[in-house]
Homo-oligomer: A and B are copies of this chain.
Amino acid sequence: MVVNNKVDSLSYDVEAPPAAAGDTTPQPPMQHHHQPPQQRREVLELHKVSVPEPRTTAKALRQRLAEVFFPDDPLHQFKNQSSARRLVLALHYFFPIFQWGSEYNPRLLRSDVVAGLTIASLAIPQGISYAKLANLPPIIGLYSSFVPPLIYSLLGSSRDLAVGPVSIASLVMGSMLREAVSPDEQPILYLQLAFTATFFAGVFQASLGFLRLGFIVDFLSKATLTGFMGGAAIIVSLQQLKGLLGIVHFTSHMGFVDVMTSVVKRHDEWEWQTITMGLAFLAILLLTRQISARNPKLFWVSAGAPLASVIISTILSFIWKSHSISVIGMLPKGVNPPSANLLTFSGSYVALTIKTGIMTGILSLTEGIAVGRTFASINNYQVDGNKEMMAIGIMNMAGSCASCYVTTGSFSRSAVNYSAGCKTALSNIVMASAVLVTLLFLMPLFHYTPNVILSAIIITAVIGLIDVRGAAKLWKVDKLDFMACMAAFLGVLLVSVQVGLAVAVAISLFKILLQVTRPNMVVKGLVPGTQSYRSVVQYREAVRVPSVLIVGVESAIYFANSMYLVERVMRFLRDEEEKALKANQSSIRCVVLDMSAVSAIDTSGLDALSELKKILDKRHIELVLANPVGSVAERMFNSAVGEAFGSDRLFFSVAEAVAASQCKPQA
């Protein structure tokens, strides 16, 4: 069947009138009785607007909830399986190690051992450094690189994730806890709070996964994260000026202004031996980073550089025995002591630890999930976001009882893990074993490791988080995204990490709400040579249909935009009528609302349509709707609005609506 824009030149056969409200059964061919055949100028073949098969309320609710909470349909693989097979699958589901473990072979082992040792060489210096970032003793960073990777290798579904402390979560934990408790004056209390916050982070993460609320992390948009990470990286780097310059009395604030003031004011404390050593190693580390970035096969250059720097600088410092270079000092030997007795769930700091736990929990989750997804997509396998959250959450809950602070999948170490050719989560076990050997036997060697080298390692690690090219791309593609990015960046840099994050989330939500409140609405015309009606702004060749205004609505119609919809249509109408008046054309007789892109409608939206119809009726202009989608059609037929529009004002397509309204005898 053909609906042409030159209606008068064609003749149509009546096949079926548009369906009446709620009528979904096929109808026999039927004549329009009010148009006796001899009077018809042309006959349209009209297609009826269907509605989906009626569902019970319970079924509709179940489907809706399934789509919200189980979009990945995790139980799919259990369908049509014997119960023994189901048990095995469930074991595989909850402990992925049984899945890949059963297919393990020596060839995989070789790759995993190489990868595991490579990331261990990075994890040990980074662990020590990041613990300092969180104002914790360096040994906690090593503890946190031992127990959590072991737990993750049992539960995690990513092959490439390298687990341990990360810079952003360490920074946030450090800055939030230090606001209430000084780590120098009350070290035990500070440790208690850190472990308790880690426990809450784990509980929060596991609950998100268990309640299948994983989509919450999606609300931290990439744009805001770019800004947030960039700002945090600068904050972290600025904090390293303490170690890099050898300043003893450093500000405890994080803001850009405070730190720079402190740096300038304490210039008498600048320590030139430290500065020389720090800058030299920083230059070497940045150089190796560049080498690996230019040639990905040389990934081991930058992966091994931190450990090499630690070894070389420790030897230098041991030979010099200079008192002006501050060193890590005595570290206790031995594996993680239990710390469950340090968790405190009462007293005046509960609110603080819960808040810190949620903040670090969501940040580390965001990083872990993003890293897992990135490498899963590179290697073409799937990670289940909610299951990953449970794995990370359980890992942190267990970690908090074994002297570990908050951990997750680290982007830098996972990248090295991937480059080094890891095949399974066994590389985490290898890494943990290397950390174990360090903890048991090598701790005294760190005695003379200069603190300045840790600062250089941190700066090298976080400098990669400043993504200027990403920000430039945002500016080019989406100005509002760029604004969100800059707001988060400046918020972190000038106010505080929490404010930066809050601003970032608020802007992300505001952007969604703005789009919902002011949806796109376009005037459509016929694209020559087709039967398609498209925006006349986008397709400049599109031709408007005389005396018919076709408006496309490109959004769900909600309470938040229903008034705008009415206003905007009236404004289009006014503009068109002014144009018609000037050009001496006939005025608008019919408004066609193209509903193809209206994905949903609520009760306010339905009221707005009735309202618009009433206003247009008073001006003797007809309002017809074209192509309402399933849920919208269903809802219209369920309410009085469907009846108000009736079967002769609902059309299958814009083309049919135009054809029908054009061949109507003019009033």
Residue ranges of A at the interface with B (Cβ–Cβ < 8 Å):
1-2, 15, 26, 45, 47, 50-53, 57, 60-61, 67-68, 71-73, 76, 215, 218-223, 373, 377, 380, 385, 473-474, 476-479, 481, 508-509, 511-520, 522, 527, 529-532, 534-535, 537-541, 554-556, 558-564, 567-568, 571, 574, 596-600, 602-604, 606-607, 611, 614-615, 618, 627, 629-631, 633, 635, 638-639, 652-653
User: Closest B-chain residue to A225, C-beta based?
Assistant: B559
Provide the bound-state CA to CA distance between A79 and B535, in Å. Answer: 26
In the assembled complex, which residues on chain B have CB atoms less than 8 Å from the CB atom of A598?
Answer: 597
In the assembled complex, which residues on chain B have CB atoms less than 8 Å from the CB atom of A564?
Answer: 71, 215, 218
Establish whether residues A596 and B596, one from each chain, have CB atoms under 8 Å apart when the complex forms: yes
Establish whether residues A218 and B561, one from each chain, have CB atoms under 8 Å apart when the complex forms: yes
Contact of A221 among B515, B560, B567 (CB under 8 A): B560
Provide the bound-state CA to CA distance between A635 and B520, in Å. Answer: 15
* 26 A/B residue pairs, CB under 8 Å, sorted by A: A1-B529, A52-B538, A57-B479, A61-B479, A67-B518, A68-B517, A73-B571, A215-B518, A218-B564, A221-B558, A223-B603, A380-B615, A380-B618, A473-B603, A476-B639, A477-B606, A478-B603, A478-B635, A511-B602, A520-B629, A530-B653, A532-B653, A535-B630, A554-B597, A554-B599, A596-B597
Contacts known (A61-B479, A599-B520, A652-B532); A71 close to B514, Cβ less than 8 A: no
Provide the bound-state CA to CA distance between A478 and B385, in Å. Answer: 30
Contact of A473 among B72, B629, B639 (CB under 8 A): B639
Establish whether residues A599 and B555, one from each chain, have CB atoms under 8 Å apart when the complex forms: yes
Contacts known (A222-B559, A537-B630); A615 close to B377, Cβ less than 8 A: yes
User: Closest B-chain residue to A562, C-beta based?
Assistant: B218
Provide the bound-state CA to CA distance between A630 and B514, in Å. Answer: 18
In the assembled complex, which residues on chain B have CB atoms less than 8 Å from the CB atom of A597?
Answer: 554, 596-599, 629
In the assembled complex, which residues on chain B have CB atoms less than 8 Å from the CB atom of A50?
Answer: 534, 538-541
Establish whether residues B45 and A633, one from each chain, have CB atoms under 8 Å apart when the complex forms: no
State how many angstroms separate the Cβ of A37 from the closest Cβ of chain B.
22
Provide the bound-state CA to CA distance between A540 and B49, in Å. Answer: 11
Establish whether residues B515 and A556, one from each chain, have CB atoms under 8 Å apart when the complex forms: yes
In the assembled complex, which residues on chain B have CB atoms less than 8 Å from the CB atom of A652?
Answer: 527, 530, 532
User: Closest B-chain residue to A601, C-beta based?
Assistant: B478
In the assembled complex, which residues on chain B have CB atoms less than 8 Å from the CB atom of A223?
Answer: 559, 602-604
Contacts known (A67-B518, A596-B597); A563 close to B218, Cβ less than 8 A: yes
Q: Give the top 10 A-B pairs by smallest Cβ distance, nearest first.
A: A221-B559, A554-B599, A538-B630, A597-B597, A222-B604, A50-B539, A477-B639, A1-B529, A520-B599, A52-B537
Provide the bound-state CA to CA distance between A219 and B518, in Å. Answer: 12
Provide the bound-state CA to CA distance between A530 and B651, in Å. Answer: 13
In the assembled complex, which residues on chain B have CB atoms less than 8 Å from the CB atom of A60?
Answer: 479
Contacts known (A519-B599, A530-B653); A560 close to B477, Cβ less than 8 A: no
In the assembled complex, which residues on chain B have CB atoms less than 8 Å from the CB atom of A602?
Answer: 221, 223, 478, 481, 511
In the assembled complex, which residues on chain B have CB atoms less than 8 Å from the CB atom of A639?
Answer: 473, 476-477
State how many angstroms separate the Cβ of A628 from the closest Cβ of chain B.
9
In the assembled complex, which residues on chain B have CB atoms less than 8 Å from the CB atom of A561?
Answer: 218
Contact of A517 among B45, B218, B558, B653 (CB under 8 A): B218
State how many angstroms separate the Cβ of A183 from the closest Cβ of chain B.
34
User: Closest B-chain residue to A222, C-beta based?
Assistant: B604
Contacts known (A53-B540, A530-B653, A560-B221); A629 close to B554, Cβ less than 8 A: yes
Provide the bound-state CA to CA distance between A618 and B377, in Å. Answer: 10
State how many angstroms separate the Cβ of A260 from the closest Cβ of chain B.
32
Contact of A2 among B2, B473, B535, B630 (CB under 8 A): B2
Establish whether residues A515 and B600, one from each chain, have CB atoms under 8 Å apart when the complex forms: yes
In the assembled complex, which residues on chain B have CB atoms less than 8 Å from the CB atom of A562?
Answer: 218
Provide the bound-state CA to CA distance between A479 and B63, in Å. Answer: 13
User: Closest B-chain residue to A635, C-beta based?
Assistant: B477
State how many angstroms separate the Cβ of A606 from the closest Cβ of chain B.
7
In the assembled complex, which residues on chain B have CB atoms less than 8 Å from the CB atom of A68?
Answer: 514, 517-518
In the assembled complex, which residues on chain B have CB atoms less than 8 Å from the CB atom of A599?
Answer: 515, 519-520, 554-555, 597
Contacts known (A476-B639, A555-B599, A607-B222); A530 close to B215, Cβ less than 8 A: no
In the assembled complex, which residues on chain B have CB atoms less than 8 Å from the CB atom of A629?
Answer: 520, 522, 535, 538, 554, 597
State how many angstroms separate the Cβ of A659 from the closest Cβ of chain B.
13
Establish whether residues B530 and A1, one from each chain, have CB atoms under 8 Å apart when the complex forms: yes
Contacts known (A218-B517, A473-B639, A532-B653); A560 close to B512, Cβ less than 8 A: yes
State how many angstroms separate the Cβ of A367 from the closest Cβ of chain B.
15
